[in-house]
C-alpha cells in the first residue's frame, strides 16, 4: 500500500449496496480483466488507504471472495442508496472518507490522488466534468457533510447532489467522464470490456492460465446437469467458460454456455471431453493425467474451466450431494471442497441449494484469483 500525501484521509469506502435492476445480473460480480468489479475496486482502495470498508444495504449479504479482509457496514438508513452508504461510513468512522461506487469500471490512482489533494480546507472534494457535472461517487466527504446528509435521509430523500448547497466543495476538473465510466446496464459493461481490450489492459490480473474448478460428487448425483445449469450463469457474468469431462455420456456439450450476456457478445464457451486415453479434440492422454495439465494444454484461451469429476487431481472442488442419489454422506471430507451444493441438512462454510446455479456462479466468480492457483 502506498498512501497518498494526504494524512487526514485514511479511509476508503466501497459503496456496494446497489440492486442492479438495470443490469439484470448482480453487477458487483461482473468480471473485468479477470476479476469481479467488487474485487477490483476493493483492491484499488486497499492500495490507497490503510482502512477499507464496504457498505451494503439493510438485509443484504456480501461475498467478498478474493477481496481480502474488509469491514462490512450496513446502511443505518433504509433505501440502499449511495447517500445512505456515505452517511453510514461517516457516522461509523467519524472522520473523512473517500467514497467509490462498486460499478466504476476502471478507477485511476492519479485521479483519486488529485481529488484527495484538494480536500484540505473544504467539506468535500470531487471531480467535475463538463458544465456543472460532478462525480459524487468518486469523492471525499468530511464530517461536516454528515448533518445535511442525515437531514435528507430522514426526510426520505436520497440525492447526494442535494447537499452541495450546504457544504464547501472543492472541484478537480477533468476533460470528460471516461475516467468515471460506471456500469449500469450490460451495454455499459460491453463498452468497459471493449475499452480494456483497446487499451491493452484486458489480460487477466491473475496470470495467463484459466481459473479451474471441478464439480464432484458420488455416482448419480447429477454433476453434468449442474454444470449445464451453471455454465450459462457464469457466461452472464462475462466469463468465457470451458468444460472438461471424463466421458461424453451425460454431458451435453453443445448446450453448455449457449446463454450469454448481452446478445452473445461475451465470447463463446469451449467444451472438451477428457476420455480415458485422450482428450476428445487433442493428443493422447493417460487416464491419470492431472486435470491441470489437461487445462493448460487444451483450454488456455478461456477464463474459467469447469470440470466434471477429477476429484483426485482437481486443485479446487465443489461437491454436489443430493439426498435423491441414495448416498448417506458427501464424498469430500470437511474443508476438502470449497462449497457444497445440496438439499441435505448440512451446514458447511459455503452451502448452495440444488437450484441456486446463479448463486454458485457468483461464488465462483468472486474467487477467480484463488482458482487460478494450481
Within a domain: residue 307? yes
- Nearest CA among 213, 210, 240, 211 for reference residue 227: 213
- In percent, the amount of the chain with pLDDT more than 70 equals 83
Question: pLDDT tier at 271 (50, 70, 90 boundaries)?
Answer: low
Q: Is the pLDDT of residue 109 over 50?
A: yes
Distance CA 214, CA 242 (A): 12
Residues 153 and 36 in one domain: yes
Q: What angle do CA 275, 276, 277 make, to 5 degrees?
A: 90
Bridge partners, residue 97, by sequence: 141
CA 172 to chain centre: 29
Distance CA 93, CA 142 (A): 11
Residues 281 and 160 in one domain: no
Residues 171 and 252 in one domain: no
Question: If residue 321 lies in a helix (H) or strand (E), which one and from where to where?
Answer: strand 317-321
pLDDT at 245: 83
Q: Domain ends where: 198, 224, 247? A: 198
Q: Domain ends where: 168, 198, 228? A: 198
pLDDT at 281: 41
Residues 164 and 216 in one domain: no
Within a domain: residue 203? no
Q: Is the pLDDT of residue 141 over 90?
A: yes
Residues 293 and 185 in one domain: no
Q: Is the pLDDT of residue 292 over 60?
A: yes
Residues 216 and 191 in one domain: no
Residues 171 and 245 in one domain: no
Q: Which residue has the higher pLDDT, 277 or 37?
A: 37
Number of domains forming the structure of the chain = 2
Residues 167 and 244 in one domain: no
Within a domain: residue 205? no
Question: pLDDT tier at 254 (50, 70, 90 boundaries)?
Answer: very low
pLDDT at 305: 93
pLDDT at 341: 96
Q: Which residue has the higher pLDDT, 107 or 250?
A: 107
pLDDT, average across residues 227-233 = 94
Residues 160 and 220 in one domain: no
Distance CA 247, CA 280 (A): 9
pLDDT at 5: 45
* 299: CATH: 3.40.50.300
Residues 188 and 215 in one domain: no
pLDDT, average across residues 6-31 = 84
Q: Which range of residues forms the domain containing residue 46?
A: 11-198
Residues 290 and 151 in one domain: no
Query: Using one digit for the tens of pLDDT, what is the confidence trace for 31-71?
Result: 999 999 999 999 999 999 999 999 999 888 899 999 988 99
Residues 194 and 227 in one domain: no
pLDDT, average across residues 121-144 = 92
Of 57-61, 95-99, 258-262, which gets the smallest average pLDDT?
258-262
pLDDT, average across residues 237-260 = 60
Handedness of CA 241, 34, 31, 262 (dihedral sign): negative
- The arrangement of strands across the sheet holding 211-216 comes to 270-273, 241-245, 304-308, 211-216, 317-321, 339-342, 351-352
Report the mean per-residue pLDDT for the chain. 84
* 179: CATH: 3.90.550.10
Query: Using one digit for the tens of pLDDT, what is the confidence trace for 172-226?
Result: 999 888 888 889 888 899 888 888 877 765 555 545 789 999 999 988 888 989 9
290-294-297-301 Cα dihedral, nearest 10 degrees: -130
Q: Domain ends where: 177, 198, 219? A: 198
Q: Give Cβ neighbours of residue 262 (< 8 Å, ≥ 6 apart).
A: 186, 187, 189, 190
Within a domain: residue 161? yes
Within a domain: residue 330? yes
- In percent, the amount of the chain with pLDDT more than 90 equals 55
Within a domain: residue 1? no
Determine how many CB atoms are found less than 10 A away from the CB of residue 44.
Answer: 20
Within a domain: residue 204? no
Q: Is the pLDDT of residue 279 over 50?
A: no
Within a domain: residue 128? yes
pLDDT at 126: 96
Distance CA 267, CA 220 (A): 32
Amino acid at each position: 500500500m502506498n498512501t497518498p500525501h494526504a494524512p487526514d484521509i485514511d479511509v476508503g469506502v466501497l459503496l456496494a449496496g446497489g440492486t442492479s435492476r438495470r443490469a439484470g445480473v448482480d453487477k458487483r460480480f461482473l468480471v473485468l480483466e479477470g476479476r469481479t468489479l467488487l474485487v477490483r475496486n476493493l483492491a484499488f482502495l486497499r492500495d490507497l488507504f490503510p482502512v477499507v470498508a464496504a457498505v451494503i444495504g439493510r438485509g443484504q449479504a456480501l461475498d467478498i471472495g478474493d477481496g481480502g479482509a474488509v469491514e462490512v457496514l450496513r446502511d443505518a438508513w433504509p433505501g440502499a442508496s449511495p447517500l445512505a452508504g456515505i452517511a453510514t461510513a461517516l457516522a461509523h468512522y467519524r472522520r473523512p472518507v473517500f467514497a467509490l461506487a462498486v460499478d466504476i469500471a476502471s478507477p485511476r490512482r492519479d485521479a483519486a490522488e488529485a481529488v484527495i489533494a484538494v480536500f484540505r480546507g473544504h467539506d468535500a472534494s470531487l471531480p467535475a466534468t463538463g458544465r456543472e457535472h460532478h462525480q459524487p461517487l468518486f469523492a471525499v466527504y468530511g464530517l461536516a457533510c454528515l448533518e445535511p446528509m442525515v437531514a435528507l435521509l430522514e426526510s426520505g430523500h436520497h440525492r447526494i447532489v442535494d447537499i452541495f448547497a450546504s457544504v464547501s466543495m472543492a472541484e478537480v476538473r477533468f476533460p470528460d467522464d471516461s475516467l468515471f465510466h460506471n456500469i449500469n446496464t450490460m451495454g455499459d459493461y460491453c463498452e468497459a470490456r471493449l475499452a480494456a481490450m483497446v487499451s491493452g489492459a484486458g489480460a487477466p490480473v491473475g496470470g495467463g492460465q484459466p481459473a479451474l474448478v471441478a464439480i464432484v460428487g458420488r455416482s448419480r448425483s447429477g454433476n453434468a446437469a449442474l454444470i449445464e445449469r451453471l455454465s450459462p450463469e457464469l457466461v452472464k457474468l462475462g466469463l468465457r467458460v470451458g468444460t472438461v469431462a471424463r466421458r461424453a455420456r451425460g454431458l451435453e456439450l453443445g448446450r453448455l454456455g449457449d446463454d450469454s450476456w448481452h446478445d452473445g457478445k461475451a465470447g463463446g464457451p469451449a467444451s472438451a471431453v477428457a476420455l480415458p486415453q485422450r482428450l476428445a479434440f487433442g493428443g493422447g492422454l493417460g487416464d491419470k493425467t492431472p486435470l491441470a495439465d489437461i487445462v493448460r494444454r487444451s483450454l488456455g484461451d478461456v477464463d474459467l474451466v469447469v470440470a466434471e469429476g477429477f476429484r483426485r487431481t482437481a486443485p479446487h472442488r465443489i461437491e454436489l450431494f443430493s439426498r435423491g442419489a441414495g448416498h448417506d454422506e458427501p464424498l469430500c471430507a470437511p474443508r476438502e471442497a470449497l462449497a457444497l451444493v445440496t438439499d441435505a441438512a448440512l451446514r458447511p462454510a459455503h452451502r448452495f441449494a440444488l437450484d441456486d446455479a446463479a448463486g454458485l456462479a457468483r461464488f465462483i466468480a468472486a474467487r477467480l484469483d484463488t482458482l487460478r492457483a494450481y
